[in-house]
């Protein structure tokens, strides 16, 4: 998708998108109620996982990503690699800034601000969970955020692919450095499965669909008829994902409301901080909006599947670290939707670039 195509895609906000905040709140309430009053549903869904990746959630994320991947063509990916500024913002923000600001902010809140409200051992575990989130930039949901703010699909794919490669060798040493843990065991099966499910399969499906339909029906049909059939799929997939996530965590939310709020505070501050660092840097560097917005979204959001899996393997299912990573999942969608609104409302900052 070229820059012009991205600009042309600024269609009016649809019904689902216009009232997205309302749907999100309703889905959170429904999810928590399911988790609290019909525990057999999340218990059943929890069995449908492989390498700690929920298969139902993976399918829904795939449905969210597929419509965006339809807009990607190979020529656009090649052209994206010729624009290094956006990749530089993504890589530097995610790997040289984000993990360390997360550590500093979490340390300040858990060890200073909330030290009288949280037992000493738990503060360390909460800090560990926050660090795991900070060292894992988003792999899947960023495609949704990019889609909602009309980002460049091809460039977003390249940015995510670069991060996936860096995660393979940078995640472990960064976590070990910040937490002083030398035996960090990264569940590589979870990591590789997530990359395959959330990047490789959707890209292959989208690319092959584009190739086949353009060949059979023509480019005009593909862009003006076929793609539009998927206009609401991303939003519906997001809402169903929310219900499942909050159904899994309904009991935790109701039993630990105060601790969840205390954990959420530094995570939310970190998310906004990283977004504005990347977004502001991209604006100063005169990078186009369709590249700048996804670059900021990647750093602001987290690869929560990996963070949760590592927390469980290192500290246990009932640990404070695992709870902290789960809170990261809970706050991510509402906060990221807020950032999408901020990005779309400030798009005019990039109009003359």
Question: Per the domain annotation, does 122 fall within a domain?
Answer: yes
Eight-state DSSP code of residue 224: I
Q: Which of 4-18, 78-92, 166-180, 242-256 has the lowest mean pLDDT?
A: 4-18
Asked if residue 160 belongs to a domain, the reply is yes
Here the CATH number for the domain that contains residue 49 is: 1.20.1530.20
Range in 84-93, 147-156, 314-323 the model is least confident about: 314-323
- Could you tell me the sign of the dihedral formed by the alpha carbons of 146, 150, 153, 158, in that order? negative
Q: What does pLDDT average to over the chain?
A: 81
326/132 Cα distance (integer angstroms):
11
Q: What's the average model confidence in pLDDT over 242-257?
A: 76
User: Dihedrals φ, ψ of 295, to 5°?
Assistant: -60, -40
**pTM score:** 0.74
Residues 42-76: pLDDT tens digits? 888 888 877 667 788 778 877 777 876 787 666 66
**Count: domains in the chain:** 1
Torsions phi, psi for 302 (to 5 deg):
-130, 155
Identify any residues that bridge with 53 across adjacent strands, giving them in sequence order.
50
Angle at 175 between CA 174 and CA 179, to 5 degrees: 120
Q: Which long-range contacts (CB under 8 A, 24 or more apart) does 42-46 make?
A: 42/244, 42/247, 42/248, 42/250, 45/244, 45/247, 45/248, 46/248
Residue range 19-42, pLDDT digits in tens: 666 787 788 889 889 988 888 888
Q: Please compute the mean of the pLDDT values over residues 272-280 and round it to a whole number.
A: 95
Q: Are 169 and 256 in contact (CB under 8 A)?
A: no
C-alpha distances in Å from residue 324, one per residue of 40, 93, 164, 253, 280: 24, 22, 23, 12, 28
Residue 353 covered by a domain: no
Percentage of the chain beyond pLDDT 70 is 82
Q: What is the 3-state secondary structure (H, E, C) of 276-335?
A: HHHHHHHHHCCCCHHHHHHHHHHHHCECHHHHHHHHHHHHCCCCHHHHHHHHHHHHHHHH
Bridge partners (DSSP) listed for residue 137: 302
Residue 241 falls within a domain, yes or no? yes
In the predicted structure, residue 302 carries a pLDDT above the cut 90 = no
What is the per-residue pLDDT across 181-226, written as a single tens digit (0 to 9) for each? 645 565 667 667 766 777 678 778 888 998 899 999 998 898 788 9
What number of CA atoms fall less than 13 Å from residue 313's CA on the CB side? 17
Q: Is 60 helix (H, G, I), strand (E, B) or coil?
A: helix
* Residue 333 · residue 242 · CB < 8 Å: yes
3-7, 315-319, 329-333: least confidently modelled range: 3-7
| pLDDT at 14 (0 to 100) | 57
Supply the range of the domain harboring residue 186.
3-348
Structure-model confidence comparison of residues 53 and 117, the more confident one: 117
pLDDT score of 329 more than 70: yes
pLDDT in tens, 121-174: 788 889 989 998 998 887 777 888 888 888 888 888 888 878 877 887 788 888
Q: What is the SS3 assignment for 105-167?
A: HHHHHHHHHCCCCCCHHHHHHHHHHHHHHHCCECCCCHHHHHHHCCCCHHHHHHHHHHHHHHH
pLDDT at position 212, please?
92
């Amino acid at each position: 998708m070229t820059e012009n195509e991205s600009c042309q895609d600024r269609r009016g906000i649809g019904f689902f998108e216009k009232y997205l905040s309302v749907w999100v709140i309703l889905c959170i309430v429904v999810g928590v109620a399911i988790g609290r009053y019909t525990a057999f549903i999340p218990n059943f869904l929890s069995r449908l996982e492989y390498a700690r990746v929920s298969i139902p959630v993976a399918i829904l994320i795939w449905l969210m990503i597929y419509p965006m991947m339809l807009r990607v063509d190979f020529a656009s990916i090649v052209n994206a690699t010729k624009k290094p500024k956006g990749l530089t913002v993504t890589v530097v923000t995610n790997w040289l800034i984000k993990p360390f600001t997360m550590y500093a902010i979490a340390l300040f809140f858990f060890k200073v601000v909330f030290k009288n409200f949280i037992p000493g051992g738990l503060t360390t575990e909460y800090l560990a969970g926050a660090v795991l989130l900070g060292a894992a930039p988003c792999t899947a949901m960023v495609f949704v955020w990019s889609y909602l703010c009309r980002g460049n699909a091809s460039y977003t794919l390249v940015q995510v692919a670069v991060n996936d490669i860096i995660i393979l060798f940078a995640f472990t040493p960064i976590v070990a450095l910040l937490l002083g843990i030398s035996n960090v065991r990264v569940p590589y099966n979870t990591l590789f499965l997530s990359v395959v499910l959330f990047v490789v399969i959707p890209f292959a499906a989208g690319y092959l669909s584009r190739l086949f339909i353009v060949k059979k029906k023509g480019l005009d049909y593909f862009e003006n008829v076929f793609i539009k059939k998927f206009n609401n799929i991303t939003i519906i997939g997001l809402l169903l994902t929310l219900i499942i996530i909050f159904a899994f965590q309904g009991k935790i939310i109701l039993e630990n409301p105060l601790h969840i709020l205390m954990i959420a505070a530094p995570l939310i501050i970190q998310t906004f901080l990283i977004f504005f660092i990347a977004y502001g840097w991209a604006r100063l560097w005169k990078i186009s909006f369709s590249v700048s917005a996804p670059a900021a979204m990647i750093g602001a959001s987290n690869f929560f599947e990996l963070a949760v899996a590592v927390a469980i393997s290192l500290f246990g299912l009932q640990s404070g670290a695992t709870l902290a990573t789960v809170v990261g999942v809970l706050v991510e969608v509402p906060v990221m939707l807020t950032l999408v609104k901020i990005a779309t409302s400030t798009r005019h900052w990039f109009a003359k670039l």
